Amino acid sequence: MSFAAEIEHSLSQPSPLLRRFGGLIEPADPARLEALARRSQQLTRHHFGRTMRLFAPLYLSNECVNNCRYCGFSRDNPILRTTLTIEQVEREARHLHGLGFRNLLLVAGEHPKFVSEGYLQACLDTLRPTIPTLAIEVGPMEDDQYAEIVAHGAEGLVVYQETYHRPTYETLHTSGPKKNYDWRLDCPERAYAGGFRRIGIGALFGLAPWRHEALALAAHLEYLLRHCWKAQFTVAFPRMRPYAGNYEYQPDPSLFLGDRELLQLITAFRICFPQVGIVVSTREPAPLRDALAPLGVTHMSANARTEPGGYTGAGHDDLHLTVRGRRVELESASGCERATEQFRIDDTRSAGEVAAMLRGQRIDPVWKDWDEAILGADGTPAASPGAATAKDAKNAKNAKPEPVPAP
């Protein structure tokens, strides 16, 4: 049995938890929304303390074998592409390390060569000594491939279903292995079987009616918590942004997840899944991120770039196009070109500015995840005044509800 085999049943015969979740995302007046936000804040303080885990995406490559109609990296888009060398990946990571990041998400388009030729493994081997928390967001793999990636030092995996609405999924994925809805949907379970213990799921909001996406995402999370109980999970609700090939992107009003609905969604997940991490990325505008930070969010990206080499300019000397997946050299280049980004981010503040914003709200930015950092040689927690968990525990104990800012 897998979630792909259960999803239709989960949605047509919802569990008590899913029915509750469905009630929480029904249209709400301002007083109800404020009450939900207050409850979400209390639960977050209780389970996570006054902390926010900060991470940065590190794009390795924008080469991809899929065509997804909402993504600038699609195989047939005539964009400037590159795959960073291992030395260039290291340079990008060193830059982020210098800004304070100890938690990186390695992102790449989908291409079998990344794993079969040992590229991803070599990236992990290189970064592992300096970056204690490494996660990947790349094309889905088999269980045994996941086990190999875990052995090379990745402990987190992010895979978004994009849309849980099967007919929409089939329309938007026009070619490539990603066309297989079930293969992608069962990816978190394969990752768990392969040894990943920190798994992020989500949907790309704006592709299908948002309440359907939210219910299916909640059903998926409930299933995973039941079947993959040794792992920690996060959920994310990325909203569509202008992207290469469609910088004029305007959201479809009938599918759009508005700011108030996004807040409501965060509160519904927090109330139904109090111990699950909630991620809000730099896709969202700074004022909204600031308002959401104390109300249920536990993980934020900062200072993000969505192109390979975005932090240091690495890889600009190997830019090329692809035609039907085959490399084509540029006919002329000025030398100033950069690889094409996946999508436009909105919150362009530096890592330091985001950290200062959090401190201003009395939330501790956590740059280094606690797992390995606080374990002593015998695997038991070591006393470390600077460790995030020590602060977490103290904060959680002293948690008090805060005034809820207007969303």
Interface ranges with ligand SF4 (CB under 6 A)? 64, 66, 68, 71, 73-74, 109-110, 178
73 vs 181 by CB, closer to ligand SF4: 73
User: Are residues 12 and 217 in contact, defined by beta-carbon separation less than 8 angstroms?
Assistant: no
Of how many residues is the chain composed? 407
Cα 128 from chain centroid? 20
Amino acid at 282: T
Nearer of residues 64 and 150 to ligand SF4, judged by Cβ? 64
Measured from the CB of residue 15, what is the shortest distance to ligand SF4 in angstroms?
A: 30
Residue in this structure with the two tokens 């938690």, named with its chain if needed: 103
Q: Among residues 10 and 66, whose Cβ is nearest to ligand SF4?
A: 66
Cβ distance to ligand SF4 smaller for residue 73 or 370: 73
Least separation in angstroms between residue 68's CB and ligand SF4 is 3
In Å, how far are 84, 138, 164, 288, 391 from 284, measured between CA atoms? Answer: 27, 22, 22, 7, 28
Structure tokens at 399: 């948690």
Q: How far is the CB of 134 from ligand SF4 (least distance, A)?
A: 19
* Centroid of chain to Cα 18: 23
Instruction: Select 26 or 170, whichever has its Cβ closest to ligand SF4.
Output: 170
Beta carbon nearer to ligand SF4, 54 or 204: 204
What's the closest the beta carbon of residue 243 comes to ligand SF4, in angstroms?
Answer: 9
Beta carbons within 8 Å of 107's beta carbon, 6+ residues apart: 57, 58, 59, 60, 136, 137, 138, 306, 342
Q: Quick one: 342 exposed, middle or buried, by C-beta within 10 A (0-12, 13-18, 19+)? A: buried
Distance CA 340, CA 12 (A): 42
Shortest distance, CB of residue 278 to ligand SF4, whole angstroms? 22
Pairing of strands 320-323, 326-329: antiparallel
- For the bound state, the minimum distance from the C-beta of residue 64 to ligand SF4, rounded and expressed in Å, comes to 3
